[in-house]
Amino acid sequence: MIFDFTAVRENLFPASRGAIEDWEGFPWHRDRTNRIQAYKAHSSQAIAIDVFGALKMSKDRDRIFDAIAERVGVAPGGPWTVTLEWTDTDRLLGESRPTQVDAFAVGSAAALVIECKFTEPGGQCSQTAVSRSGERQCNGNYEDQINPGNGVRSRCALTGKDIRYWEYVLKIFELDPDVDYTPCPFKGDAYQWMRNAVLAAAIGEHRSLQTVALAAFADHPSFPTARKVKRGLMDPGLAGRGAIMPISYQQIVAIACQVGRDRALWNSLAAWIDHKIARAASRK
């Protein structure tokens, strides 16, 4: 079945549409009925494409990503490449289903692992969810326990599946993997931010680049991620809080307006993003 992309195209900033080379093959976010969701005004994937697709296609790309890199504390230096919906095909973390991030930008000295949020919060760990058998693979604490699903004893059900998150957690957050934590320090949506932070660290180690995980978000008081940013994406008791750097879409576009040569383009994108945010906020 060929999907009609008319509504999706209309929901994307015109200068970003060229970033989608294969409309049928692109990894679109879908609902339970397999319907593509990027036609919706509040689509997180669509607003990510608006911004990072426009940056990818722009002649100002290197100038803007250099400025973003300096803003978030990594080395500038192009040429920058941008991949939308990037997947860790090297499986650096040992995941059976490798992490996919909304955008991945790589320069000559640094890489940005970018997770994008609009009106939704971050994702939570699936191991504490009730399975079809009615059991949870993890009790919600980081402590010695047996996963009833596979009979493996470990402090983290994911570690018991040879997933390497805690190898990097030790380095980034200065947590001791041999100490119990009640509850798990990455409960709730802190889990997604941790996962992106450890992926960035693994990429940096593998590619010998400075790396940082970015939380790109729509800044409006009615959106959960924007509210969370004000309080801190991670528990303030954790070290390594700079492992996740929040940056709003408005800040990114303001940087583009400041350093980009095509002022008309970036002013137009700013208006587009402001309109989308206002429209999504009115639904709350």
State pLDDT tens for residues 218-262: 999 999 999 999 888 887 777 665 678 999 999 999 999 999 999
Does any domain span residue 1? no
> Within 13 Å and on the Cβ side, how many CA atoms surround 157?
19
Domain boundary, last residue among 187, 215, 237: 187
* Cα(166)–Cα(125) distance, integer angstroms: 14
47 and 111 co-located in one domain: yes
* Cα(155)–Cα(157) distance, integer angstroms: 7
Asked whether the bond before 27 is cis by omega within 30 degrees of 0, the reply is: no
155 and 207 co-located in one domain: no
Can you give the residue range of the structural domain that contains 14? Answer: 6-123+189-282
248 and 234 co-located in one domain: yes
Does any domain span residue 44? yes
Does any domain span residue 256? yes
CA 147-150-152 angle, to 5 degrees, is: 55
Does any domain span residue 216? yes
Helix ranges (H only) for 151-242 are 165-173, 190-207, 224-231
CB contact burial 187-214 (16+ within 10 A = b; e otherwise): bbbbbbbbbbbbbbbbbbeeeebbbbbb
Domain boundary, last residue among 139, 157, 187: 187
Record the tokens describing residue 100, joined without a space: 């996919």
Q: What is the pLDDT of residue 239?
A: 61
Per-residue pLDDT of the chain in tens (284 residues, 90 and over written 9): 567 899 999 999 999 999 999 999 999 999 989 899 999 999 999 999 999 999 999 999 999 999 999 999 999 999 999 999 999 999 999 999 998 999 999 999 999 999 999 999 999 999 999 988 889 999 999 999 999 999 999 999 999 999 999 999 988 888 888 899 999 999 999 999 999 999 999 999 999 999 999 999 999 999 999 999 988 888 777 766 567 899 999 999 999 999 999 999 999 999 999 999 999 999 86
58 and 24 co-located in one domain: yes
Q: If 0-12 CB within 10 Å is exposed, 13-18 middle and 19+ buried, where does residue 249 land?
A: buried
Does any domain span residue 274? yes
Domain count of the chain? 2
226 and 278 co-located in one domain: yes
Domain boundary, last residue among 156, 187, 218: 187
